[in-house]
Amino acid sequence: MNARHGIDATASSRHPPTTKLGRRSYVTTATATWVNREATAEELIPLIGKLHRENGVVLSIHGRSLVNKSVIELLKLHDFVSHIDGAPLNPAHSLELVRALAELNLGACSINIAALHKAHREAGSPELSMWLPEQLGSSVNHQGDQPKEQDVVLYGFGRIGRLLARILLERSSSPLGSGLNLRAVVVRKNGDQDLVKRASLLERDSVHGPFKGVIEVDEENSTIIANGVPVRFIYSSDPNTVDYTEYGINDALLVDNTGRWRDVPGLEQHLNRPGISRVLLTAPGKGDMKNIVFGVNDNVITDEDKILSAASCTTNAITPALKVLDDAYGVERGHVETVHAFTNDQNLIDNFHKGDRRGRSAVLNMVITETGAAKAVSKALPQLEGKLTGNAIRVPTPDVSMAILNVKLTKPAGSAEELNELFRRESIDGELRRQVGYSDSPEAVSTDFVGSRTAGVVDSLATVVTDDSAIVYVWYDNEFGYSCQVIRVLERMGGYDVPSYPAK
């Protein structure tokens, strides 16, 4: 068996063909190797946790965080590297690397250890104690440096609001702070058990699983305490009635995830309240409001921008992939067909709905509906203005959608293999690596992409290229992947920007 199938030649060479264990029983080389890998992962866990808690360092493998992972989850992530680099990452190599990182007194940063290990190997495997400081120069000996702190308020606590809360709370487990501090949630009160029920919805999710941590409810103070972080719930049905400074909140970023107001005059209601300095909308903005797709046009954000939109989940999924195509070959025109999971806007069973077709049962029907995502792409990529059309089909699944990009290119792409290699490389070390994922699995289906942190994942086995025409299939977690993009925009707005390594 070779490395791609999960057997590490380096690790297995430490064991004889059979190893005596307990009651004079014998295990195979494969089992002995697995036991060794488990032991190595167990050594990694406290080192990963300590770097996160004491240094604010987030270790990852190609965009997948290693913080708070179990032994099995760590080993699966090491094997996942084979889909990107052609062979799994040896946990023993990771352990050696992480031990060396722990000696550098690092400041807050993000480190892709798979990419760092690959760069080390390509450099000829020099002594880590000499090589690493050169790679991480701006973060070495900066332990204890406090990142810029920014209060965050969530206005609304639906599907996106709760996922934003989960991500923010996940990042708050380091005493150094995450930069973005979730302070409050504003909702309308729905009965005496409102806070208990909202805590339960945060703790349990039918799609995304249980909350990773401990949640307590302090009804007397209208507060949910999640992993030691108190989050005040403010009850209001009118944004004009809230004074956030009464709760010790100042200069906060407010995220409106209700979709109730989508223009500047509507969102200015938040901006005019004491304690709020900037507003981010989690829906396409109307009028002249800047629609931001992080990774593509976040460079247009200025300190003067007080109200911004994070666009839609579909716009976030397709725009990075279209940018890759446009940069490499040019896009003359195209059509985007979205196969989208049903949303709370639809009816569970047939009933009146003001929108066409959306009144029919979401769990029983495929429903053709409109989407503005294709036209909205031009707000992030002006050069594609008027070049894209789009339709959407809502389907009976609760999460993960697919966008099918059918485009005519200015110059031929050559072959599907050439186009796929372009996306594969982008997903590894391109400027859009946090937005563009890549899959080469012949068995991948929609549920495999639940929890994906990229804006979209190209399904390479579905790519079709004919001369100057290309069809690209992009999976996206329209809830969690989009929420990750929203958090990235928040970080930019709040001036929280820790370095990432290896540097591009």
Alpha-carbon gap, residue 150 to 371, rounded angstroms? 34
Best CA proximity match to 377, nearest among 305, 480, 297: 297
Identify the three-state secondary structure at position 160.
helix
Beta strands in 72-198 (DSSP E): 109-112, 150-155, 180-187
Strand-pairing partners, residue 439, are 459
Contact residues for 316 (Cβ-Cβ < 8 A; gap 6+): 293, 294, 310, 435, 455, 456, 476, 481, 482, 485
| C-beta of residue 220 within 8 angstroms of C-beta of residue 250 | no
Q: How many other CB atoms are found less than 10 A from the CB of residue 217?
A: 18
Alpha-carbon gap, residue 230 to 8, rounded angstroms? 44
> CB-based burial of residue 425 (10 Å sphere; 0-12 exposed, 13-18 middle, 19+ buried)?
middle
313 part of the active site: yes
Alpha-carbon gap, residue 277 to 293, rounded angstroms? 21
> CB-based burial of residue 193 (10 Å sphere; 0-12 exposed, 13-18 middle, 19+ buried)?
exposed
Alpha-carbon gap, residue 53 to 165, rounded angstroms? 19
Identify the three-state secondary structure at position 108.
coil
Cα of first residue to Cα of last residue in the chain, in angstroms, is 34
Which pairs count as long-range contacts for 14-19, CB under 8 Å and 24+ apart, including other chains? none
CA 116 to chain centre: 21
Best CA proximity match to 84, nearest among 428, 468, 497: 428
Q: Exposure pattern of 290-303 as b/e (b: 16+ CB <10 Å)?
A: bbbbbbbbbeeeee
Please name the amino acid found at residue 53: R
DSSP string, 362-381: TTT--EEE---HHHHGGGT-
Dihedral sign for Cα atoms in the order 48, 50, 51, 56:
positive
Strand-pairing partners, residue 44, are none
- Of 180, 276, 313, 413, the active-site residue reads 313
Catalytic (active-site) positions: 313
